[in-house]
């Protein structure tokens, strides 16, 4: 004998329930489905159409069974979602970048070809992102299903201070002061020297960079100062200002890293002085790599920060 739609629906619902609750759920569903069908028949529907409509309204029997068993049908629910999302963003902002930088430094010290360095860095970066996302999600999915307590509680002390709509005077003063100190450091290094062996100034920056390359660097510093003033008088970051900020960051990285890569950024006499004082070539190579990565990282963050501020219309 062919089972009716109602019998098939009830069987599909109770098959994933614990044995001790199957009979009670079956009886409850049989009664509620029968009552709903009779109500539709009294309104003039045919029995077959009424049965199909009632079962359709009840929905997927798997979802109905999950409701009876109090079983979650989501990977991470509202109880843990915000904690999961905040932790995931924090880890993705730190771990992949750290892994990529470590691989690049290690491959560079091993004097690997540039193509191999880039390939290894990209591969490790993608793999790290996938592993971080996967394992963090797995942990919170387990917490969701076991009902464990993360110990994370929200309270009003976590509320951020409201930010002003415009760019504060303190920010522009700090930016201009930093740029002035940077320019002053270049001049001091050239004419007074941060290194003074035997009382004589020994510039760290290559004196051959004067006047043209250093003039380009001073122009970039002046452009950054003009940008800071423009942001202040505009009252907020705009898309145009973010574009200018990105262009200046790219120009700065191009100038500094190209000089560093060609060995023209640091004064050869300063290098010889360091070698004579026990700093070996491997240590210098490591410092040069760290310097280059730091330049790229700072400029990249500055460009991203400009776009972030432009997107939010805040300082």
Each of the 315 residues of the chain gets a pLDDT tens digit; together they read 567 888 888 888 888 788 888 888 888 888 888 888 888 888 888 888 888 888 888 888 888 887 777 776 677 877 788 888 888 988 888 888 888 877 777 776 666 776 777 788 888 889 999 999 999 999 888 888 776 666 666 666 666 665 554 566 777 888 888 888 888 888 888 888 777 777 788 888 888 888 888 888 889 999 999 998 888 888 888 889 999 999 999 999 888 888 888 888 888 887 777 767 665 666 667 667 777 788 888 888 888 888 888 887 644
Quick one: pLDDT at residue 282? 66
Tell which residue, 79, 69, 95, has the closest CA to residue 141.
Answer: 79
Label residue 264 exposed, middle or buried (CB < 10 Å: 0-12, 13-18, 19+): middle
The three-class DSSP label of residue 51 is: helix
Q: How far apart are the first and last CA of the chain?
A: 74
Strand partners, 175: none
Task: Give the model's pLDDT for residue 279.
Answer: 58
Q: Which of 192, 241, 189 is nearest to 217 (CA)?
A: 189
- As a residue count, the chain comes to 315
CB 21 within 8 A of CB 68: yes
Q: What b/e string do you get for 211-230 counting C-beta neighbours within 10 Å, with b at 16 or more?
A: eebbeebeebbebbbebbeb
Per-residue buried b or exposed e for 94-104, using 16+ beta carbons within 10 Å of the residue's own CB:
eebeebbbebb
For residues 85 and 83, give the distance between their C-alpha atoms in angstroms, rounded to a whole number. Answer: 6
Q: What pLDDT, on a 0 to 100 scale, did the predictor assign at position 219? A: 92
- In this prediction, residue 315 carries a pLDDT of 44
Query: Which stretches within the chain are classed as H helix?
Result: 5-14, 19-42, 47-58, 61-69, 78-109, 114-146, 169-191, 212-234, 239-261, 268-276, 281-312
* Backbone angles phi and psi of 236, in degrees to 5: -170, 165
Q: Which residue, 181, 165, 158, is CA-closest to 236?
A: 165
pTM of this prediction? 0.54
Report d(CA 215, CA 219) in Å as an integer: 6
Q: Residue 134: what pLDDT?
A: 93
């Amino acid at each position: 004998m062919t089972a009716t739609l109602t019998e098939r629906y009830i069987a599909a619902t109770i098959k994933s329930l614990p044995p001790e609750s199957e009979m009670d759920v079956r009886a409850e569903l049989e009664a509620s489905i029968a009552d709903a069908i009779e109500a539709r028949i009294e309104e003039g529907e045919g029995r077959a159409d009424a049965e199909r409509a009632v079962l359709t309204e009840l929905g997927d029997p798997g979802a109905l069974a999950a409701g009876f068993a109090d079983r979650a049908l989501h990977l991470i629910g509202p109880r843990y979602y915000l904690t999961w999302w905040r932790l995931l963003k924090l880890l993705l902002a730190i771990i992949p970048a750290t892994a990529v930088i470590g691989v690049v430094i290690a491959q560079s010290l091993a004097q690997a070809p540039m193509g191999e360095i880039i390939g290894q860095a990209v591969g490790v970066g993608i793999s790290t992102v996938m592993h971080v996302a996967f394992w963090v999600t797995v942990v919170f999915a387990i917490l969701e299903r076991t009902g464990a307590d993360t110990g994370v509680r929200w309270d009003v002390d976590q509320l951020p201070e409201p930010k002003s709509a415009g760019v504060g005077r303190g920010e522009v003063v700090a930016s201009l002061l930093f740029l002035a100190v940077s320019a002053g450091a270049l001049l001091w290094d050239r004419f007074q020297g941060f290194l003074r062996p035997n009382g004589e100034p020994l510039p760290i920056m290559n004196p051959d960079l004067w006047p043209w390359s250093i003039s380009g660097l001073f122009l970039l510093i002046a452009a950054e100062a003009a940008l800071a003033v423009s942001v202040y008088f505009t009252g907020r970051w705009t898309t145009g200002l973010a574009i200018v900020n990105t262009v200046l960051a790219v120009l700065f990285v191009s100038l500094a890293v190209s000089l560093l890569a060609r060995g023209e950024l640091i004064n050869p006499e300063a290098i010889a002085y360091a070698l004579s004082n026990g700093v070996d070539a491997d240590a210098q190579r490591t410092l040069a790599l760290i310097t280059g990565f730091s330049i790229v990282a700072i400029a990249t963050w500055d460009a991203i920060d400009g776009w972030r501020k432009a997107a939010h219309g805040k300082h």
